[in-house]
Amino acid sequence: MRFLNYLRPRLASAMPILTLLGTFGMAGALYARSDVPGGLVGFAEGIPEALAALESARVTNIHVTVGAEVEAGQLIATVDASALDREIAVAEAEKGRLEAVVRAEQTSLSRRLDVDRETIERAATREHEDLVRLRAEAQALDVEIERVTKLVAEHHVVASVLAPLTLRRAQLASLEIEKPRTIGVLSRQLGAASLRRREVDDDVFTAARLDAELLVVQRRIELLEARRAMYSLRATRKSRVGSVDKQPGETAKAGEAIVKLVSTANRVVVCVPERRSLGLRVGDAARLSVRGQRASGPLAGRTVAVGPVVTELPARCWPTPTLPIWGREVTVAIDTSVDLVAGESFVVVLDSAAAPALAPTAGPPVAKARGSTSSGVNASAKPWRPEPRLMTIPPSLARRTRFEPSGILARPNEGRYLVVSDDTGIKDGPDEGRPWLFSMDAGGAVAAEPVPIAGVTSIDDLESITAGDDGAIYVLASQSYSKGGRRRHARSALLRLRSHGGHLTVDGEVHLAALLDLAPERATALGLTSGTRSLDIEGMTFHRGALYLGLKAPLDASGDAMIWKVTHPRALFDAPAGGAKTLEASGIAPWAHARVDVEVDGRPVSGGISELLFVDDDSLVLTSTPSTADAAAGALWRVDHPTGGALSPQLVQRFPGRKPEGLALSLTRGNVIVVFDAGSSTPEFFESPWPP
């Protein structure tokens, strides 16, 4: 009793402290408790975006309100561009004037060429008529000489009568030999005149001075249009409006935010304590649940980035608000598209045994439990297998142009991909055939504004893009005939581009099919036994100073797809002084052939190469589609230690119902990316670790 009397006042004085400690303990326990055993705390990643004009201008319209959800490419705000509109109108008028001059020059040239061709045709006709007349006269003269010879032999006439006939027959014999030569020369001249006339019809011939002036005006218009596009502020991805900092009528300085957006990009940043973070790697599978929502099913994802250092984690991740913890921040991409709120809390279980490593390895990765180094390991999980994902196409872009991806190139320094499309503009619309490339981010969102190419007026059926030495970019048209039976000049182009301040300019231009038509022996050596009529090149890559061209058609005699090697690409574009461009100096020659058949409705169909890519010296990647059949089917192949000659591709994956046409190293290290041409449907892309 005495002890209790002694203890009671002391417990009373300590009760506030004990209550406070208990409260903190319960709060920490509640905070640290996860909905999934072994789970980690994660938060939806918020990506801020400030929309601002690059030049000081007055805000004319704000098209959104705070909190509104906006789509990629949606117009957010506009600023006054009336001065630029007037400059563009003047430049367009000047362009129209120059085009009228060019058309007049072409009409005049066409008429002169028509007169030349008709003159040659008349001369050739006269020569043919003369030859027929000479042969008839020679035939009659032979009969007469035979008759007179008999009379001379019978002494009915003197021998001197025979001499004029013999002389005339000799003259006719000489003319009979010379006339075919003259006719041959005229025929070649007629062919050349017809070719020049067709080239004029295809807009190949233009006066050099007028062409240069038109190019200057066109580049000025492109520059003005690029500036004009900056006056319409658009969202680059699906986002929510965080704030509106300027109202219509106010003036915004260059770079000053007008509207601020925030998006989540389907990513969650996970706080991983130090002891559990050392065995993590890019590519690990993940399961995510919205914190506190036990009824909702888990979401699947994968690790796309692992923090490079162990550091103090954000305060939201501390189990006890006053006790910091250390670890690594891991970024997880959710496989399916979901609506997230930036900062939304998740419980995440990482599984480092359920996904292959993305870094190159000596062979296929082997999944094994990592014990204490894995976080929430499930040893029975199936290997992660990536699937094609839809690209995000802004509605404003879809209204301006077709987008059928046929080639892709990663630009790591720019944080984007450059994509080529089979067709640009809307058929029979004002932008059809515009020289445009397209920009896509790592998540598959295509930019609303195309990337113009200066220095060329039109393109058609671009199939591939690759990067060369010294910052060069090569883009290739198919060289094929259209369904209408024509091969326009723009359809046979191989362009070398340079990037200057973010703008692409043509630095060299060559037309392979035309050069092959002028060198039939070399075309035959390359496997074009029937000329270039069936030629269709869809694949191109650059490796160790050389260009490699993969043919979709024709196949060789064994049904294999062919690969050509251009040893000296620079020689294709740089003609010798005073000479014309030829194939000789480029060293173009057959390099390899491979069987890359595809399956259509379960049946094998001869496949041609739709793209190729050297990952390194020891690995070549190929995609294939039907060589001549009009069907949606494709496959992905790998060739180990390619040295040319007969290749032995190993099948990686088939794509039933899809046409893989573009292939590149991914912006995600250790991956390759494939893009699919879906025609008028929304295109898709596919990323896979490499080696698979």
Q: Which residues pair with 509 in a beta bridge?
A: 495
- Give yes or no for residue 202 having a pLDDT over 70: no
According to DSSP, the β-strands at 436-440 and 451-454 are antiparallel
Residues contacting 388, CB < 8 A, separation 6+: 655, 658, 674, 676, 684, 685, 686
Alpha helix stretches (DSSP H) within 156-207 = 162-201
| Residue 154 shares a structural domain with residue 249 | no
Question: Which residue, 311, 343, 361, sits at the end of a domain?
Answer: 361
Neighbours of 279 (CB within 10 A): 17
| Residue 298 shares a structural domain with residue 280 | yes
| Residue 287 shares a structural domain with residue 215 | no
Q: What is the 3-state secondary structure (H, E, C) of 313-381?
A: CCHHHCCECCECCEEEEEEEEECCCCCCCCCCEEEEEEECCCCCCCCCCCCCCCCCCCHHHCCCCCCCC
| Mean pLDDT of the residues in the chain | 82
Q: Tally the domains of the chain.
A: 3
Tell me, what CATH number does 428's domain have? 2.120.10
665/686 Cα distance (integer angstroms): 12
pLDDT value, residue 373: 35
Supply the range of the domain harboring residue 596.
389-679
Of the pLDDT bands very low, low, confident and very high (cuts 50, 70, 90), residue 384 is: very low
**pLDDT tens readout for residues 105-155:** 767 777 777 777 788 888 878 888 888 888 888 888 888 888 888 888 888
Q: Collapsing DSSP states into helix, strand and coil, what is residue 452?
A: strand
Is 690 contained in some domain?
no
* Between residues 624 and 306, the one the model is more confident about: 624
pLDDT value, residue 592: 96
| Residue 298 shares a structural domain with residue 246 | yes
Please report, as a single letter, which amino acid is at residue 144. Answer: E
| Residue 574 shares a structural domain with residue 659 | yes
Is 467 contained in some domain?
yes
Question: Which residue, 361, 379, 397, sits at the end of a domain?
Answer: 361
* Between residues 254 and 582, the one the model is more confident about: 254
pLDDT more than 90, % of the chain: 35
| Residue 119 shares a structural domain with residue 105 | yes
| Residue 213 shares a structural domain with residue 235 | no
Structure tokens at 453: 């190419």
Q: Which residues pair with 673 in a beta bridge?
A: 664, 687
DSSP state of 492: G
Structure tokens at 118: 């008709």
Tell me, what CATH number does 326's domain have? 2.40.50.100
Structure tokens at 607: 């496949």
Is 235 contained in some domain?
yes
| Residue 213 shares a structural domain with residue 264 | no
**pLDDT tens readout for residues 268-283:** 899 998 888 777 888 8
Map tokens 């000659």 to a residue.
645
* Between residues 664 and 266, the one the model is more confident about: 664
Residue 306 burial (10 A CB sphere; 0-12, 13-18, 19+):
middle
pLDDT value, residue 673: 95
Which H or E run contains 495? strand 493-500
Tell me, what CATH number does 125's domain have? 1.10.287
| Residue 516 shares a structural domain with residue 396 | yes
Is 27 contained in some domain?
no
**pLDDT tens readout for residues 431-483:** 899 999 999 999 899 999 999 999 999 999 999 999 998 889 999 999 999 88
Is 258 contained in some domain?
yes
| Residue 614 shares a structural domain with residue 555 | yes
pTM of the model: 0.51
Residue 181 burial (10 A CB sphere; 0-12, 13-18, 19+):
exposed
**Lateral strand order in the sheet of 257-263:** 47-52, 257-263, 239-244, 69-70
| Residue 106 shares a structural domain with residue 136 | yes
Is 598 contained in some domain?
yes
pLDDT value, residue 375: 38
Is 519 contained in some domain?
yes
Residues contacting 635, CB < 8 A, separation 6+: 596, 597, 598, 599, 607, 623, 624, 651, 652, 653, 654, 655, 660
335/329 Cα distance (integer angstroms): 19
| Residue 296 shares a structural domain with residue 338 | yes
Within its chain, how far is the Cα of 143 from the centroid? 74
Please report, as a single letter, which amino acid is at residue 52. Answer: A
Distances (CA, A) of 335 to 72, 284, 365: 19, 13, 21
Residues contacting 132, CB < 8 A, separation 6+: none
**Lateral strand order in the sheet of 493-500:** 405-411, 416-421, 436-440, 451-454, 503-511, 493-500, 473-477, 462-467
The DSSP annotation for 43-59 comes to EEPPEEEEEE-SS-EEE
6/11 Cα distance (integer angstroms): 9
Is 688 contained in some domain?
no
Question: Which residue, 199, 224, 249, sits at the end of a domain?
Answer: 224
Structure tokens at 606: 């001869």
End-to-end alpha carbon distance in the chain: 78
pLDDT value, residue 159: 78
